[in-house]
A and B are shown apart, each in its own frame.
Chain A
């Protein structure tokens, strides 16, 4: 995209952060002391919570009548491998010619990969829905690489049981207190967790070696797997 092509006009940068939405105000009033930061990116309300406080925040969100988050839609994780905490919106600059604030055009080739930040590697993401009030909230909890454990919420929302199993299966995040933490998609004996960023997509782990016609010819060369946290065998089974 050329740098001088028509860009959608960007709103001027407000002097102070915008006021939180009504939902976010209610959330902050209830559990504000444990909320590290809150955002309303693209209209989605989101709070960041420390790992230690998850089991205090979630029951409060579920049981308070004005919030009433009774449905846990989704549990997943994000692997910020080699990236700092999330991805920030690029800064806006004052365009003298246009007389307005706008974002500088950026492209993949101009992006400098950010240095690896000190923040924990993983983020566990919960999507909550209130079937009474019809509002949504996203909770993000950072989990470090050397100790990828977090408390389970499957006692609060039984639907999180399978979702946490899936997150464990694909990201290797262990949910302490989970009643049945097994792999859900992949087979027993699978080494590693494939949605981690250091798990190469081409890496193959067939359950049984192929013995049919043409079996003597070498298969595609296997990519060496270099996942640091996943080399040890899976001991939770």
Chain B
């Protein structure tokens, strides 16, 4: 494995492990060393939820070289987006991170709104925050639960999946779908909050948090779980930044970069929440950061439900709003607006724009290039999983084979987002 950090002064040198070439040469020259064993981890291994292959060169049980191969779920997201109208691409973004789809919808729609210069109504922003935080909870619960199951802790997996189910019930109430939500529209959301959502959500969240507490009790003081996670998967904060790692992984390394706090969007400045930060930059801190973020999300949702104002949920801008059917059939302007949206996709100024928000795994950004037509000339998704996966091979070098599973689990690669 080549060493791209050689000339970078901010990144410390590699840990003192024997290099691949030395081992092979040594084995050939003296015969003193055992030859390396090559192990193919994946692409369909029970612990690689998602499809990914890690080629491991092992010296005994120690990893000498790890080559991570992604791309098994590449679907041509960007190529597909270039052929559809802006509003037709929203369902594709569901499939980026299929465990927190509302966040992907929101990132895409807010990038398009930045291009158009649209300011959404406040009630819409509150509903978006509720959807985003519910998605974040579901994603973290799935990540922690499945990682625990891979470490043979089956009970917390069931607890956390049940808690996730309770969260998905609320997303279902918000938009009518559990996983591929398609919940956010350009300039608004798919629907207003259903009646009685506040009580419904409070009951569901209380039950979910109770299950989370149970899982927390089972996992955090469990000696097996701790020994598998503590000290493994270490990456220095300099490495994390240099590799472009964001999200819970970066915060577990002690870098308090959370875009909700650092570059606030939607109504996050009005909300009271904490940004959990780890200090050891290992898998156990990543686990703790995720567990605490679930609680903070629950706090934010409670505040949103308290403060949400009345009003419209969609912006009344003829460039993006779909007129009501009775108006389309009864009025001239609305008929023309509808016709133009269907045939041309709307009016967009030429130019290019980037918008990123704090997704469950880190910064999810969309870079749109518009040529003035209703279809994006280029629609690029900057996905956090991709950048979070790139230092995985480096963090495994010199570690034990058994560390692959918790490190990969806590990286939380989502195939749809990583491979696009």
Chain A residues engaging chain B, CB cutoff 8 angstroms: 1-2, 5-6, 8, 41-44, 46, 70-74, 76, 78-79, 83, 86-90, 103, 105-109, 111, 125, 127, 129, 131, 134, 136, 138, 154-163, 166, 170, 179-180, 183-186, 194-195, 199, 201
Among candidates A41, A70, A88, A89, residue contacting B353 with C-beta atoms closer than 8 Å? A41
Is the beta-carbon distance between A87 and B319 smaller than 8 angstroms? no
Is the beta-carbon distance between B70 and A2 smaller than 8 angstroms? no
Give 7 CB contacts A-B under 8 Å. Answer: A1-B337, A42-B352, A74-B367, A90-B350, A111-B373, A163-B387, A179-B2
Query: A158 and B391 in contact (CB under 8 A), knowing A41-B352, A74-B380?
Result: yes
Is the beta-carbon distance between B350 and A89 smaller than 8 angstroms? yes
Query: A70 and B333 in contact (CB under 8 A), knowing A44-B354, A185-B70?
Result: no
Majority SS of interface residues in chain A?
Answer: loop
Is the beta-carbon distance between B349 and A131 smaller than 8 angstroms? no
Residues of A within 8 A of B351 (CB): 41-42, 87, 89
Is the beta-carbon distance between B10 and A185 smaller than 8 angstroms? no
Is the beta-carbon distance between A158 and B8 smaller than 8 angstroms? yes
A1-B347, A41-B351 provided; 20 other pairs, C-beta below 8 A? A42-B353, A44-B354, A73-B244, A78-B377, A83-B371, A88-B350, A106-B347, A131-B257, A136-B354, A158-B8, A158-B239, A158-B243, A158-B390, A159-B243, A159-B387, A159-B390, A162-B387, A162-B390, A170-B78, A185-B71
Residues of A within 8 A of B2 (CB): 179-180
Is the beta-carbon distance between B369 and A78 smaller than 8 angstroms? yes
Q: How far is the CB of B270 from chain A (nearest CB, A)?
A: 20
CA distance A112 to B245 in the complex (A): 43
Residues of A within 8 A of B420 (CB): 185
| Interface assignment of B340: CB less than 8 Å from any CB of chain A | yes
Is the beta-carbon distance between B79 and A186 smaller than 8 angstroms? no
Residues of B within 8 A of A72 (CB): 244
Residues of B within 8 A of A108 (CB): 344, 373-374
CA distance A170 to B356 in the complex (A): 22
Is the beta-carbon distance between B382 and A73 smaller than 8 angstroms? yes
Residues of B within 8 A of A162 (CB): 386-387, 389-390
| Interface assignment of B7: CB less than 8 Å from any CB of chain A | yes
CA distance A185 to B5 in the complex (A): 24
CA distance A46 to B367 in the complex (A): 13
Is the beta-carbon distance between B373 and A155 smaller than 8 angstroms? no
Is the beta-carbon distance between B378 and A78 smaller than 8 angstroms? yes
| Interface assignment of B365: CB less than 8 Å from any CB of chain A | yes
Query: A131 and B4 in contact (CB under 8 A), knowing A44-B353, A87-B370, A106-B372?
Result: no
Residues of A within 8 A of B319 (CB): 1
**Closest residue on chain A to residue B390 by CB atoms:** A162
Considering only residues 308-340 of chain B, those with a C-beta below 8 Å from chain A are: 317-319, 333, 336-337, 340
CA distance A26 to B6 in the complex (A): 29
Considering only residues 70-93 of chain B, those with a C-beta below 8 Å from chain A are: 70-71, 74, 76, 78-80, 83
Q: How far is the CB of B383 from chain A (nearest CB, A)?
A: 9
Query: A42 and B347 in contact (CB under 8 A), knowing A71-B244, A195-B78?
Result: no
Residues of A within 8 A of B71 (CB): 183-186
Among candidates A41, A74, A155, A185, residue contacting B4 with C-beta atoms closer than 8 Å? A155
CA distance A184 to B419 in the complex (A): 9
**Closest residue on chain B to residue A194 by CB atoms:** B79
Is the beta-carbon distance between A201 and B80 smaller than 8 angstroms? yes
CA distance A136 to B244 in the complex (A): 13
Q: How far is the CB of A155 from chain B (nearest CB, A)?
A: 5
The 6 closest A-B pairs by CB, nearest first: A159-B244, A87-B350, A179-B2, A185-B71, A185-B74, A159-B243
Residues of B within 8 A of A170 (CB): 78
Is the beta-carbon distance between B6 and A155 smaller than 8 angstroms? yes
Q: How far is the CB of A225 from chain B (nearest CB, A)?
A: 14
Is the beta-carbon distance between A131 and B241 smaller than 8 angstroms? yes
Residues of A within 8 A of B262 (CB): 134
Is the beta-carbon distance between A127 and B354 smaller than 8 angstroms? yes
| Interface assignment of B242: CB less than 8 Å from any CB of chain A | yes
Among candidates B344, B349, B378, residue contacting A89 with C-beta atoms closer than 8 Å? B349
CA distance A129 to B257 in the complex (A): 11
Among candidates A86, A155, A163, A180, residue contacting B7 with C-beta atoms closer than 8 Å? A155
CA distance A162 to B392 in the complex (A): 12
Among candidates A2, A79, A157, A184, residue contacting B242 with C-beta atoms closer than 8 Å? A157
**Closest residue on chain B to residue A140 by CB atoms:** B352
| Interface assignment of B26: CB less than 8 Å from any CB of chain A | no
| Interface assignment of B11: CB less than 8 Å from any CB of chain A | yes
Is the beta-carbon distance between B340 and A107 smaller than 8 angstroms? yes
Residues of A within 8 A of B117 (CB): 8, 42
Residues of A within 8 A of B389 (CB): 162
**Closest residue on chain A to residue B262 by CB atoms:** A134
Residues of A within 8 A of B94 (CB): none
Among candidates B365, B377, B378, residue contacting A73 with C-beta atoms closer than 8 Å? B365
CA distance A169 to B186 in the complex (A): 31
Is the beta-carbon distance between A74 and B365 smaller than 8 angstroms? yes
Q: How far is the CB of B380 from chain A (nearest CB, A)?
A: 5
CA distance A156 to B387 in the complex (A): 15
Is the beta-carbon distance between B11 and A158 smaller than 8 angstroms? yes
Q: How far is the CB of A124 from chain B (nearest CB, A)?
A: 12
Is the beta-carbon distance between A157 and B244 smaller than 8 angstroms? yes
Q: How far is the CB of B10 from chain A (nearest CB, A)?
A: 7
Considering only residues 1-37 of chain B, those with a C-beta below 8 Å from chain A are: 2-8, 10-11
